[in-house]
Amino acid sequence: MLKKYARIGITGDSVTDCGRAHPVGCRNTGLGNGYAFFVDTALSALYPEQKIWVDNTGISGNTSKQLLERFDEDVLSRNPDVITVMIGINNVWRHFDIGSYFPESLKELDLPHYESNLRKIIEKTLVKNCKLVLITPYFLEPNKNDPIRKMCDEYSAAVKALADEYGTYFCDVQSAFDKFMEKESAYLLSNDRVHPNQIGHYIIANELLKILETVEL
């Protein structure tokens, strides 16, 4: 279980940002209206005596390279005990929008670069003796042969492999969404298959909370 006064740093892209306050979103300034808010609310309600603190440093549009470039200043400088990272959908998505017109721009977004960037983020975190939760990127499409979903699954597999290699915590939100989509339409979760509504954010938060409740500090 998380220790008293534990600090959790949640970071990623637009799915994490979700309208948070800048430069840092927190309970006092605004965690945004996404899963970071739900995580903080649940921890505050379920474990009030622990006085756990949550920061949100997600930035819309970030790729793995952009997150790596700001990781020291935006995340590690906050001295978190636990860091959660969900990044990758912009690496994938750019292959299907800007990459169609500027293929040379894809080099820094491809899977080898993604793995390298994430590996550096992991190593920076472990050097600081922080616990790390790696969260899969996801695409809200039940058809696993869909080109975007297929590529996203490849990036998610890389996250799982790195989590296994380094012994970090692993949170598979794609699988959680797949269970939902076996019963209901993906459009009950999102209008664009990337940015979830409140139902989708609750699913992410629920999966992340399951992991956070097992973290030993």
- Residue 143 burial (CB count, 10 A): 12
CA 50 – CA 59 distance, rounded (Å): 28
Q: How far is CA 10 from CA 18, 24, 87, 149, in A?
A: 12, 10, 11, 24
* Percent helix, percent strand, percent coil in the chain, to nearest 5: 50, 10, 35
Neighbouring C-alpha atoms within 13 Å toward the C-beta of 140: 23
State whether residue 64 is helix, strand or coil.
helix
Residues 177, 136 contacting (CB under 8 angstroms): no
Residues 85, 36 contacting (CB under 8 angstroms): no
Could you give phi then psi for residue 138, rounded to 5 degrees? Answer: -150, 165
Q: Which residues are catalytic?
A: 14, 192, 195
